[in-house]
Chains A and B, each alone.
Chain A
Amino acid sequence: MNEFLTLMKTELALTAIIFFMLIVKISGGMANRKLLPVIHILLLLNFALGFFFNKEGNLFGDMFYTTPLIALQKNILNFGVYLISLLFCDWMKRTPHLPEFVTLMLAALLGMDLMISSANMLIFYLSLELATIPVAAMASFDLDKKRSSEGAMKMILSSAFSSGVLLFGISLLYGTTGTVNLPELSQALNGSALQIMAFVFFFAAFAFKLSVVPFHLWTADVYEGSPFAVTAFLSVISKGAVAFIFITMLYYVFQPMLNIWYMMLVILAIITMVTGNLFALRQQNIKRFLAFSSIAQVGFILVGISSYGTMGVVSTTFFIIVYIFSNLAAFGVASVISEKTGKEKIDDYKGLYQTNPYLTWVMALALFSLAGIPPTAGFFGKLFLLTAGASQADYWFILVAALNMIVSLYYYLKVVRAMFMDKNENPIERLHTSNSVRLGLIICSAGIVLAGLMSWIFDYIKSLS
């Protein structure tokens, strides 16, 4: 098999689907109802393809680099996108621009895949933009809603600003080392003051994409404004992709600056967890709530990343899997409710258990998983992150992280309480969910319950890294 075809199989497959979508559009289009199953099948095929022909290799003169682990990470993202296409298909059915939406989403995914595989600053930067600009466009997809446009505007401006800062950092790095090739860059780093500053600029862009405090401020607004599908995509897929490449960057490229980025991660992780939690406490809008909670989650991811070593990679990757299941389940349920009733407030969820027990259980499971309560996978995910973090023996740091879990539990329980315990005169009526959504929710719930106990997943990731 041609090396080009195997190593870039995901990217090629995605490109093919993108073009298929464009062709569909240009050739006069298909009814969304008919198109959606096709999309599902294509994405599933793409996901299935991700399991085959995984090996290590370079392409395009060291610009593109892949390993089985990277292939797995890409496939995790593929799977996430497949789930999104299932869970939010009610909205997708409604949107007048389905092929375009899918095109943009897959373009962004393509960008992420390339980003994970990049071995060169230029390709990294380009794929980062490829992963961002289409999402900004997607955020604006509720075209006649002001909030959607506002969110998109905030996103595109903020991310443009952040990529300006990123580029400034890269330019300085280039100036001091003379290369944009990552392995060479790693060799050439010497830790001079200018490089540290350049690194901070560079780091800030990652922090921006990951929503690390204080670079997170765009997150909640964009999440709240965007359609559910986009919010989910942003909060799960993009975050996952950035976390993956972030690890690569820190561990392999900026390895000479280990001491600096370790401290930086510690500081930012704590600030991020605390701030995310404090803001999440008082949110009423479910999307905004999940936005801040996901900021807090990022704090935990940073804890995991801060451990320099295999554990960091493995636990983060594992956590992203868990996080995909959990967060998508939460967004999925919220989207069903919002789609059918337009209600997005936590107060509206009062008494939900009386009318929609299954949805409530899925939501509760998702929230428990996010909070890290056993037996959900979130428990394992979070614990492994902390285990990884503890390998540096900064116990107070781990303690702060662990104590933050309490605050987060508090607000997750707030939603649970609303759903299970609070009384409501007119609760949300019994909702009917379509089959795809149901399938998506079932997959997510099963993932939440089983991913932690199926230890081979974790061991498999470990074996790859």
Chain B
Amino acid sequence: MQPGLYHILFISTALFFIGVFGFFTRKNLINMLMSIELILNSVNLNFIAFNKYVWPGKLDGLFFTIFIIAIAAAETAVAIAIIINLYRNTQSIDVESAEDLKY
């Protein structure tokens, strides 16, 4: 069978939940950021696949992807800045080192 939309959707969904799983289980903040990247990439894949296979006439999906990539960069940058600052304060980038605020 010729791989098509559903195959790609499978990949993207799987990637999405791999990212989610990573986000849930990694202890390292930077690792969690990576998981976020996976999630965003899966979304990108979705958009591109839909654009390609279902709505090829317009470029909406494509542009969405481009902008998501840009935002991912900005988000990651800020997140890393915050994490580094946190690291300066706690000397750790373990997510469990930042659990003072609770209940």
Chain A residue total in the interface (Cβ 8 A): 42
B46-A221 in contact (CB<8A) = no
Provide the B63-103 mask, 1 if CB < 8 A to any CB of A, else 0: 11001100100110011011101100110000000111111
Would A133 and B60 be within 8 Å (CB), given that A145-B89, A164-B36, A168-B42 are in contact?
Answer: no
- Residues from chain B with a CB closer than 8 A to the CB of A274 are none
Q: B-contacting residues of A (Cβ < 8 Å)?
A: 121-122, 125-126, 129, 133, 136-137, 140, 143-147, 149-154, 156-157, 160-161, 163-164, 167-168, 170-172, 174-175, 178-181, 220-221, 224-225, 282
- Listed by A's residue number, 12 A-B pairs whose Cβ atoms lie within 8 Å are A129-B75, A136-B78, A136-B82, A137-B82, A146-B86, A150-B101, A157-B33, A161-B39, A171-B47, A171-B50, A175-B49, A178-B55
Residues of B within 8 A of A (CB): 16, 19, 23, 29, 32-33, 36, 39-40, 42-43, 46-47, 49-50, 54-55, 58, 60-61, 63-64, 67-68, 71, 74-75, 78-79, 81-83, 85-86, 89-90, 98-103
Residues of B within 8 A of A225 (CB): 101
Known: A140-B85, A168-B46. A133 touches B64 (CB 8 A): no
The contact of B101 among A156, A175, A220, by CB within 8 Å, is A220
Docked pose: A282 CA to B36 CA in angstroms: 34
State whether A175 touches B50 (Cβ < 8 A). Answer: yes
Question: Which residues of the partner chain B approach A157 to less than 8 Å between Cβ atoms?
Answer: 23, 29, 32-33, 36, 79
In contact, A146 and B100 (Cβ under 8 angstroms): yes
Given the known interface contacts A147-B101, A168-B42, A172-B46, the answer about A122 and B89 at a Cβ–Cβ threshold of 8 Å is no
Bound-state Cα–Cα, A167 to B41, Å: 10
Say whether B40 contacts A174, CB under 8 Å. no
Contact of B74 among A133, A145, A152 (CB under 8 A): A133
- The residue on B at minimum CB distance from A173 is B50
**Contact (A171, B46) CB under 8 Å given A146-B86, A157-B32:** yes
Contact check, A149 vs B85: say whether CB atoms are below 8 A apart: yes
In the bound complex, CA of A308 to CA of B79 (Å):
38
Q: Given the known A-B contacts A149-B89, A175-B54, are A168 and B16 also in contact in the complex, defined by CB atoms under 8 Å? A: yes
B60 & A174 in contact (Cβ 8 Å cutoff): yes
Q: Give the residue name and chain of the B residue nearest to A172 (CB).
A: B46
Q: Which 7 A-B pairs rank lowest in CB-CB distance, beginning with the nearest?
A: A164-B39, A171-B46, A221-B101, A149-B86, A178-B55, A175-B50, A150-B98
A-chain residues with CB within 8 Å of residue B33 when the two chains form the complex: 157, 160
Give complex CA distance A146, B68 in Å.
30
**Most central of A145, A154, A164, A225 by chain B CB within 10 Å:** A164
